[in-house]
Structure 1
Amino acid sequence: MKFSPSLSITRSLLFTYCIENIDDVEREAFIVSKNINDDKELSELFDKLTKPVFLSYKIDERQWHIDTLQHFLKVNDSFDSVFYLFDTYFDDEIVDQRQFMRILLGCLIRYHAEDMQNESKN
């Protein structure tokens, strides 16, 4: 089943980083320790906190996230709707929201490919 691109699902995927998600002091400290405007540190953050959530989704839901980010990057969306009124644990403001989403997309594609490869081995 193919779903229409929707930035609301991206916002829900990023809920891990939202101040409203207040149940883990260690997670909060890890988030604050990363420079979210550094591609490498942002990837490390996604690897630790977003990857497990993303891999818990069904395959078609994962593809929906990937397709959504690809679509909105292609149409030059600013991603303001994702970050508007979205208070996070990030220590800094996101300087380039599109670059943030490009890094997220690259990570999601990598997680999905790795998981599919592992599944084919089993």
Structure 2
Amino acid sequence: MKTKAPSMSIIRGLLFTYDIENTDDLKREERIASVDANNEKELVELFNDLTKPEFLIYTRPEQDWFISSIEHFLETGDSFDSVFKTMTTYFSTEIADQRQFMRVLLRCLYYYKLETEAGERI
């Protein structure tokens, strides 16, 4: 299978859970608003609650595409403005360091993928 080019739009799609345009779940919205977007521990817990279940629905190639896209844009020094400037999140705090936010997300995605692969080997 051909590797897909890195894409900011798919990263934004993965983060749609946190966008105010996604308005179907008051409990989820309140959960996001309760998190300090600049606190790594709180972000990891939030990603575990909200991003992990969605990420695991995707196929392995799609999961790899999310991961490789984030890796690519981190490696090239991108600020991720094209993701965050086009969305308003439920976070009650402004994301101070978008690259750090994405590094935390990337570590979580690695973990989810490894956890899934380990489970498949059992």
TM-score normalised by the shorter chain: which range applies?
over 0.9
Shift of 1:120: 1.4
**Match for residue 89 of structure 2?**
88
Q: Give runs of aligned pairs for residues 1-122 of structure 1, distance below 5 A.
A: 1=1, 2-121=3-122
Write the distance in 2 (CA, Å) between the matches of 1:100 and 1:113: 20
Percent of counterpart pairs with the same letter? 55
Secondary structure at 1:119 match in 2: helix
Q: Which runs of 5+ in 1 are unaligned?
A: none
Shift of 1:115: 0.5
Write the distance in 1 (CA, Å) between the matches of 2:89 and 2:100: 17
Letter paired with 1:4: A
Write the distance in 2 (CA, Å) between the matches of 1:16 and 1:90: 11
Write the distance in 2 (CA, Å) between the matches of 1:74 and 1:13: 19
Write the distance in 1 (CA, Å) between the matches of 2:71 and 2:89: 23
Moved over 3 A (4+): none
Write the distance in 1 (CA, Å) between the matches of 2:37 and 2:48: 13
User: TM-score under structure 1 normalisation?
Assistant: 0.97
User: TM-score under structure 2 normalisation?
Assistant: 0.97
Shift of 1:119: 1.1
Task: State the Cα deviation string for residues 34-83 of structure 1 (Å, max 9, x = none).
Answer: 11100110111100000000000000000000001111100100000001
Letter paired with 2:110: I
Shift of 1:85: 2.6
Letter paired with 2:39: D
Write the distance in 1 (CA, Å) between the matches of 2:70 and 2:96: 18
